[in-house]
Amino acid sequence: MGKILDKKDLKCFFEKLQKIGEVVAPVKNENISFKPVKKFSEVCFEGRSMFPIKKYFLPTKEAIAEIKNDAFVEKNDFKKRIIFGARLCDLNGLLVLDKLFLDPLYPDKIYAIRRENTILIGFACKEPLSDFCFCESMDLKDYYDLLITENNEKYYVSIGSKKGANLVTEYKDYDINLKKPVCKKKLKNKNIHDFFDEKFWEKDALKCVSCQRCTLLCPTCLCFDVADEMNIDLKLGTRNRSLDSCHSKDFTLVAGGHVFRDTKLKRYRHRVFHKIQYFKDKFEIPMCVGCGRCMEFCHSKIDFVDTINNLKK
């Protein structure tokens, strides 16, 4: 159920969105990247971006507070933003981030403000965008304000929220069932508790170069580091939050110099367990949304899905 638009309508709709706030959309240069766009023609409707949309909620590095002579001034500026053209895996990535950052006990203020001020408009995938996609195995939810499916130059807009519905009141309704993509790649086992032993992960870990692309580019990896950076006058500075990664050796460095996960194997295994097991044990949904980036952009093309599928006692 939803609304139907033709190509001309979609352009008008896009221009209407520009009046609401900053529109960011996938743009293709050497690779595909989400950027602020001025013209409808800049929007790339194919492929998925290398970097996920999490950067608009959890920037790769940002000052969360100004330090002025020992006092902290929290930063809190945010404008209205429309994310136009996110894939369903990335949108489900936000469901994962929300679980943590919108936790009623420990909400993250900056994240919450950004979520509230962002409109999420997705593009549906008619077929998997890469050989590494396995979203079909991850039971993705309809988590968006609007989701656009292209079919023979017509755009079917499914409505996921009231915020979304209000944007498309003037268009005609449709009533057909839209197909979901069928992935060749499948994750066959989502319970890996019994396979913690090092021997299951050795082969993959030997190929790991610690480049951290699997976590930095993952739509649901949310680990960050907080550090103060002072100007040379030692009076002014910023408290910065930046993306971190469990594939970094220093991720588990503690006072005294000890490193808990001191081998690539321990770090790789931890990532896979967090993605597939630990998060699910706590929050009921797996952390992985099946976008395939961690394999496609891994320098060594380490395929944890294949490895899990072949786990045998």
Partner 1 sequence: MTKPKVAIHSITGCAGCQLTIYFVKDLLLKLLEKIDLVAAPMLKEKNNAGPYDVCFMEGLVASKDDLEHLKKIREQSKILVALGTCATHGNVPGIKNSYSDSTVVESRVYKNLNLKEQIMPLKPAPIDAHVKVDYYISGCPPEEKEILKFITDLLLGKKPVIYDEPVCVECSLKENDCLLERGEECLGPMIRGGCDALCPSVNHGCTGCHGPLSDANILQGIKLLEQNGVDIKLIKKRFHKYSYDKFSELEEQAKKIKRKD
Least Cβ distance, residue 37 to ligand SF4 (angstroms): 25
Partner touching 10 among ligand SF4, partner 1, none, CB below 5 to 8 Å by kind: none
Partner touching 69 among ligand SF4, partner 1, none, CB below 5 to 8 Å by kind: none
Q: Mark 208-227 with x for binding to ligand SF4 (rule: CB under 6 A) and - for no binding.
A: xxxxxxxx--xxxxxx----
Query: Would you count residue 224 as binding partner 1 (CB under 8 A)?
Result: no
**What distance in Å separates the CA atoms of residue 238 and residue 227, rounded to the nearest whole number?**
8
Q: Is 13 left (phi over 0), alpha (psi -120 to 50) or beta?
A: alpha
Is 259 exposed, middle or buried (CB count within 10 Å of its CB: 0-12, 13-18, 19+)? middle
**What distance in Å separates the CA atoms of residue 241 and residue 269, rounded to the nearest whole number?**
25
Q: Mark 248-277 with x for binding to ligand SF4 (rule: CB under 6 A) and - for no binding.
A: --------------------x--x--xx--
* C-beta neighbour count of 268 within 10 angstroms: 25
Query: Would you count residue 113 as binding ligand SF4 (CB under 6 A)?
Result: no
Among 10, 167, 294, 308, binds ligand SF4 (CB under 6 A): 294
Least Cβ distance, residue 180 to ligand SF4 (angstroms): 17
User: For strand 71-74 and strand 61-68, is the pairing parallel, antiparallel, or unpaired?
Assistant: antiparallel
**What distance in Å separates the CA atoms of residue 34 and residue 83, rounded to the nearest whole number?**
9
Query: Would you count residue 209 as binding partner 1 (CB under 8 A)?
Result: yes
Least Cβ distance, residue 202 to partner 1 (angstroms): 8
- Nearest CB to partner 1, comparing residues 179 and 235: 235
Partner touching 243 among ligand SF4, partner 1, none, CB below 5 to 8 Å by kind: partner 1
- Nearest CB to partner 1, comparing residues 60 and 166: 60
Binding segment for ligand SF4 (CB under 6 A), chosen from 109-117, 189-197, 254-262, 290-298, is 290-298
Partner touching 232 among ligand SF4, partner 1, none, CB below 5 to 8 Å by kind: partner 1
